[in-house]
Amino acid sequence: MEPENVFVKELIDDLESGHLQLPTLPEVALRVRDVVDDEDANANQISQIIAQDAALSARLLQVANSPLYRGRNEIDRLDMVVSRLGSKLVRNLVTSQVMKQMFQATHDAVDRHLRAVWEHSVQVAAISRVLVGQCAGISPDQAMLAGLLHDIGTLPILYRAEERSELLDNPGLLDHLVTTLHTRVGGAILRHWQFPEALVAVAEQHEDLTRVHEGPADLVDVVQVANLQSHMGTEHNLANTDWTQVAAFHQLGLDIDVDEIELTDRIEEINEVQELFV
């Protein structure tokens, strides 16, 4: 059996049997999620958990005072961050901020690949955030988190590739395996993390360009469009997609008679989002 087929079979078998080692969401994100879900929790309790991670605390203060979120006055305390932004937004931001530390590897080739995936995810997150302006029921920060998570399935694949020199020596094969497997693995990760089904669907379906559904636009639509936009002008296999055949554009009410989405008036906001994570 070819090395590629062996790798795919082993990974799928382990995924289906529950033996695939999935990444663990950092403890601080889990604890913040738990306390936010507690109806009796207050801003002080949430801030106390975040305060135990000095780097995260500094980043959240920076985010709260960034052009995206700042109010009239600068804030310098975590409880003020929670009060200003709200507990659910803080939960999403904590999850978003701890994601970057997961995209690291010990092998240089894998590390370069993970960095590229992270930079792409940040770009998709930024575009997703600005696309939802007209989408009732989808918050910008929910869309941003969905963009950051959409390629999370690459992690276990690339971690396993660290142990396979025949894959590391063949970047084209590794890219093919990631493309083939990452959506299925991504759904498994987000279910393992007990994330909402709307985010699980993003990981599983963002490259299913035949997807059609009833009702208003959803997170998958947003991330599909942002993902396609991010690949424009690249050598990615999605770069030459015929947008007129992708229902997500119709769901979002976008003009598909152009080569790219008109986002020039939102470029500053896109850059501000990317600066939060890169």
Cα–Cα distance for residue pair 13/17, rounded to 1 Å: 6
**Residue 15: what pLDDT?**
86
Q: What is the pLDDT of residue 261?
A: 65
Alpha helices in 37-139 (DSSP H): 43-51, 54-64, 78-85, 87-99, 108-131
- Residue length of the chain: 278
**Three-state SS at 21:** coil
Per the model's pLDDT, the better-predicted residue between 210 and 14 turns out to be 210
Q: What is the pLDDT of residue 262?
A: 65
**pLDDT band of 22, cuts 50, 70, 90:** confident
Q: pTM for this structure?
A: 0.90
How many Cβ atoms sit within 10 Å of the Cβ of residue 43?
19
pLDDT in tens, 160-178: 888 777 777 777 788 888 8
Calpha distance 134→137 (Å, rounded): 9
Average pLDDT, the chain: 87
Question: Cα dihedral sign for 277, 272, 193, 19?
Answer: negative
pLDDT tens for each residue of 110-148: 888 899 999 999 999 999 999 987 677 899 999 999 999
Q: CA angle at residue 81 from 79 to 87, to 5 degrees?
A: 85
Q: Which residues of 145-167 are buried (b: 16+ CB within 10 A; e: fewer)?
A: bbbbbbbbbbbbbbbbbeebeeb
Q: Walk me through the domains of the chain, giving residue ranges and CATH numbers.
A: 21-102 (no CATH), 103-278 (1.10.3210.10)
Q: What is the mean pLDDT of residues 45-60?
A: 91
Averaged pLDDT for residues 144-159: 93
Q: Give Cα 88 to chain centroid, integer Å.
A: 17
Measure Cα distances from 28 to 143, 199, 234, 249 in Å. Answer: 22, 20, 36, 36
